[in-house]
Chain A
Amino acid sequence: MKHVDIAVIGGGPAGLCAAISGASSGAKVLLMDRSEKLGGQLIKQTHMFFGSEKQYASVRGFDIADILLDKLNEYKDNIEIMNNTNVLGLYEDGVITIERNEKYEKIKPKSIVVATGASEKVLAFPNNDLPGIYGAGAVQTLMNVYGVKPGKRVLMVGAGNIGLIVSYQLMQAGVEIAAIIDASPTIGGYLVHASKIRRMGVPILTSHTVKEAIGRDCLESAVIWKLDENWNPIDGTEQEIETDVMCISVGLSPLSELLQQAECKMKYIPELGGQTVLRNENYETSVEGIYVAGDVSGVEEASSAMVEGYLAGLCAAQKIGFKHKNYNELKEDYIKQLESLRSGPIGHHIRSGIEKVMGV
C-alpha cells in the first residue's frame, strides 16, 4: 500500500490545478491520469478561452495545458505523476485501487480530489449505432490530437459551445459542415461562436432533431425534422441530408462512478448534467476528505474547472494540516473568481444547479 498526502484523480484542467494548489501548500501530491499526456480535454482545444486573465482568457486551450504543466513542474518535488493509470475503485475506507503497467496497486491518501470530468450524452434515434456517428468529443480528439479527418461532410447535432467549436475546427481542417441542428428553439452556446461559423455559410437550424440515420454499412445520410413549440416533431418537415459523419453534441454528464462507489451523497441535478455529488463551499463531499473539482462536480466551462481545482486542492491540503501561507487570500480570490464567472445570464442555470448541491 502506497501512502500519500493528497491523491488527485484526473489530470485535466481541474486536476492539474488541484495538484498545483495542494503541492504549493506543502502537501505531497499523487496525480493520476488514464492518458499518456496530461491536460485532459485542454490538449485538443485549439480555440482561445473566454474568462479573464486569471483563467488565461484569450490563450488557446492546448497552450493553457502547457502553462499548467510548467506550473506543475515548479512543484515537482512535491508531485508524483502517474500517467497511463486507470483508477479502478474508491472505497469507503479511503483506499484507491489502480491499474498501471498491467499491475494492480493500492493507495491510501489522507485526502482525495476527484477530478474525473464528464462523459458525452447520447441521443436515441433509429440506426444511431451506424459507423460514422460519433460523439463530438471523439471527433475533436481524432482531428486535433491524432490529425485524422473523420470524414467529408458532417452533420453536427447540438448547438452548444462544444457543437459550435468542433464545427468551426472541422472547417479549419477542411471538412464541410452540412448543418448544425439543435432541438432547442435557441442556440445554447455563445452567440459569438455561432456567428463565426454562420458567416462561413453553415446553416444553424434550431428546433430541429434527428429522425433517423440511413446507411447500409456506414452512415450515408440523415433525416432531420422540425420540432414544434412543445418539442414534438412535425410530420412533413423531414429533410434528408447527405452526410458521412454525424457528431452528437447534446451535453455532458459528470463522471461520478468513483464518488458513488465511495458513497458520497448524490442528487439528480439536470442543470449540472445529471447525477451530481453534493458538496460544501470547500468542494468537500459528504464523505470527509473526498473533494471534487471540474465537470464531475457539475458540468461547466474549463475556466471554472481550473478555479475549482485550485480551490479544492487548497482546501484538501488545509484539511490535513498543510495550510498555504496565503490560504485566506487565495481562498477568497478563488471564490470571487467563480462567482464572477457565474454571475451573468449565461451562468443562471449553473447558479440554480449549485444551490441544489450545496449543504453537506
Chain B
Amino acid sequence: MLIKTGIPTIEDIKSVFPSEDRINKGPVAVIECYQEIPCNPCFTSCNRNAIKDFADINDKPLIEDELCNGCALCISACPGLAIMVVDGSYSENEVLIKIPYEFLPLPKEGDTVKGLNRAGEYITDVKVIKVQNPKSFDKTPIIHIAVDRKFLYDFRNIKVEEV
C-alpha cells in the first residue's frame, strides 16, 4: 500500500494511466501524483493547457490526454519526479517511456540497462534510446527507454551499472 511502502498498487497506477488506445496513438504524459499536496509546477510548465489549472493548489493534477502531445516539459518541472511520458506508437513490441533520472553515471544512448519496477526490483533489460540533459531541464535529465509492451504498467526506473 502506497502510504505504508511508497509503492503504488496496480489499481493506483491504472487510475492515472491514459487508455491504451490513447497511448498507442503517440506520446502522452502519465502523472503519478496520488496525494493532495500544495504544488502546481506541472500546470505552469504545460504550454498546451493539457494539464488543467488548479482550483486549489492542493488538488491532484488533471490532464486532458487528447491535448497532451507528450512534449515532456512537465517531467523535469515536477519536484516529485512523478511524471513520465509513454508512447505506444514506438514499435510493435515496445513502448517508449521517458523517465526523469537524477543519478550518475548517466546511461548512454544505445546502452542496455536494467529495467526496474516501482519497488526497485529488476524486471527486464531495457534499451536506452535517448538521453536529454539540456540546461533548461535544470539537472533532471530525461532518459528515453524502449520497454517490452508487457511491462507498460511495471517499468518505472533503470539501474545503470558503474563501469
Are the C-beta atoms of A195 and B82 separated by less than 8 Å? yes
B130 part of interface (Cβ distance < 8 Å): no
Are the C-beta atoms of A49 and B79 separated by less than 8 Å? yes
| Residues of chain B within 8 A of A187, CB atoms compared | 3-4, 6
A328 part of interface (Cβ distance < 8 Å): no
A52 part of interface (Cβ distance < 8 Å): yes
Q: Nearest-CB distance from B47 to chain A (Å)?
A: 14
Cα-based distance from A186 to B119 in the complex (angstroms): 17
Q: Nearest-CB distance from A121 to chain B (Å)?
A: 23
| Residues of chain A within 8 A of B102, CB atoms compared | 172
B73-116 vs A, CB cutoff 8 Å, 1 = contact: the mask equals 00001111110000000000000000000111000000000001
Across the interface, name the chain B residue whose C-beta is closest to A304: B38
Are the C-beta atoms of B37 and A346 separated by less than 8 Å? yes
Are the C-beta atoms of B79 and A57 separated by less than 8 Å? yes
| Residues of chain A within 8 A of B159, CB atoms compared | 201
Given contacts A195-B82, A196-B80, A198-B7, contact A51 B118 (CB under 8 A): no
Cα-based distance from A202 to B118 in the complex (angstroms): 11
Across the interface, name the chain A residue whose C-beta is closest to B102: A172
Interface size on A, residues (CB 8 A): 40
Q: Nearest-CB distance from B113 to chain A (Å)?
A: 14
| Residues of chain A within 8 A of B36, CB atoms compared | 344-346
Which of B16-24, B27-35, B144-152 binds A? B27-35
| Residues of chain B within 8 A of A171, CB atoms compared | 103
Q: Nearest-CB distance from B105 to chain A (Å)?
A: 10
Residue in contact with A340 in the complex, picked from B33, B38, B77, CB distance below 8 Å: B38
Q: Nearest-CB distance from A171 to chain B (Å)?
A: 7
Across the interface, name the chain A residue whose C-beta is closest to B121: A201
Residue in contact with B40 in the complex, picked from A57, A59, A192, A194, CB distance below 8 Å: A57
Are the C-beta atoms of B41 and A58 separated by less than 8 Å? yes
Cα-based distance from A195 to B8 in the complex (angstroms): 8
Are the C-beta atoms of B3 and A52 separated by less than 8 Å? no
B69 part of interface (Cβ distance < 8 Å): no
A260-294 vs B, CB cutoff 8 Å, 1 = contact: the mask equals 00000000000000000000000000000000000
| Residues of chain B within 8 A of A50, CB atoms compared | 37-39, 79-80
Complex interface residues of chain A between 312 and 360 (CB less than 8 A to chain B): 340-347
B11 part of interface (Cβ distance < 8 Å): no
B45-74 vs A, CB cutoff 8 Å, 1 = contact: the mask equals 100000000001110000000000000000
Nearest 4 CB-CB pairs, A to B?
Answer: A344-B58, A192-B80, A201-B120, A198-B6
Chain B residues in contact with chain A, CB under 8 A?
2-8, 32-41, 44-45, 56-58, 77-82, 102-104, 116-121, 138-140, 156-157, 159
Chain A residues in contact with chain B, CB under 8 A?
47-53, 57-60, 171-172, 185-187, 190-202, 204, 206, 303, 340-347
Chosen A-B contacts, 6 in total, with CB atoms closer than 8 Å, are A57-B40, A198-B120, A200-B157, A204-B6, A340-B57, A346-B37
